[in-house]
Structure 1
Amino acid sequence: MQAEPTGSADPACTYLPSAALGGPLSHALARVARLHRIAAGRLLRGLGLYPGQEFVMMCLWDAGPVRQAELIKAVDLDPSTVTKMLQRLEQAGHVRRRPDPDDRRAVLVEATDDSCALHSDVRRAWTDLEGHTLAGLEPAEREELARLLAKVEANLCREAGDCPTPR
């Protein structure tokens, strides 16, 4: 079976596998998401974070102490993945876990005071990532891309049927 070129001059981006011929935009979106995660990972590695941990920290910085079960829902990841993330973040001194005084079976998770410096570093990393990701796009193109991605996200949320509730 033959794949078709996508029209780009870069050989890495010209190959469209035959199985993806019915979904070239989905294929492109998957490639972009993968590359975005790699770029984010490089920026976060310099802060001592693994990809995904910044989302846990963002949630904790904005929400304050939350039950671990609520945090798992908020970041929409597998509970074992979040538990491992929290173990690493706790070892690094960025989070603290303690029993919930209202329900001793539940665990409260909160960002530590020491993580405040990390907050500004993560914000700067995401600003840099945004700049690299959208380089060459005009402000109107950026707005249009954000609008279109919101529509795509809404479609996928309806399909998945389990999208997190916006805060």
Structure 2
Amino acid sequence: MDSVMPEVDAESAARLRRVVVRLARTLNGSAAAEGLTPTQASVLATIGFRGPLQPAALADVEEVNPTMISRIVSKLDDQGLIRRLPHPDDQRAVLVEATTAGQETSARIRQARTEVVTGLLHNLSPTYARAVLDALPALEAMAGLGSDT
């Protein structure tokens, strides 16, 4: 493997940024189809995957300020997608967990996003589709999701 960092020109960085933003917008439509903002969908998915958890921990995971998390939790609770539970060790605190409806909504969003990505890959030439799939480890590392080797 070549260990020399390649030069990244401004145009290449801008092209990558545009691609990431466009793909994010495309995928975010799945949340909107469920009546959620992308941030609400992300919070719901985190609660479903990691919950029950305290709102402060949720804010840390989502990298959203506590005031915003409070609003999102209230909205998701009002929609019946999550519920608040008393904290077993601290009567002043609460935990949040996904309801069955919340789990189902989150699953539909994930499925819709997977279908979007699958469709986008099928619309590429085999060479480009393979190049995207081969780039997954690097993209995961770039997003902090995988190994950076």
What's the TM-score bracket when you normalise by the shorter of the two chains?
A: 0.7 to 0.9
Q: Pairwise CA RMSD of aligned residues?
A: 2.4
Partner of 2:134: 144
Contact 2:41 2:106 in 1 (8 A): no
Q: Mark the runs of 5 or more structure 2 residues left unpaired by the alignment.
A: 1-7, 145-149
Alignment of 1:1-167 (within 5 A): 22-134=9-121, 135-136=123-124, 138=126, 140-154=130-144
Question: CA offset at residue 55 of structure 1?
Answer: 1.6
Contact 1:64 1:111 in 2 (8 A): yes
Question: CA offset at residue 90 of structure 1?
Answer: 1.1
Q: How many residues were matched structurally?
A: 135
CA distance in 2 between partners of 1:58 and 1:96 (Å):
14
Q: 1:109 to 1:129 in 2, by over 3 A?
A: same
Partner of 2:3: none
Query: Identity percentage over the alignment?
Result: 25
CA distance in 1 between partners of 2:63 and 2:119 (Å):
26
Question: CA offset at residue 108 of structure 1?
Answer: 0.6
CA distance in 2 between partners of 1:85 and 1:65 (Å):
16
Q: Mark the runs of 5 or more structure 1 residues left unpaired by the alignment.
A: 1-20, 155-167
| Aligned amino acid, residue 69 of structure 1 | A
| Aligned amino acid, residue 136 of structure 1 | L
Q: TM-score if structure 2 supplies the norm length?
A: 0.75
Q: Identify the structure with the greater strand proportion.
A: 1
Q: TM-score if structure 1 supplies the norm length?
A: 0.68
Question: CA offset at residue 133 of structure 1?
Answer: 4.3
Q: Deviations over 1:116-141 (max 9, x none)?
A: 32133112222123224434164532
CA distance in 2 between partners of 1:106 and 1:137 (Å):
53
Question: CA offset at residue 105 of structure 1?
Answer: 3.0
Contact 1:37 1:51 in 2 (8 A): no
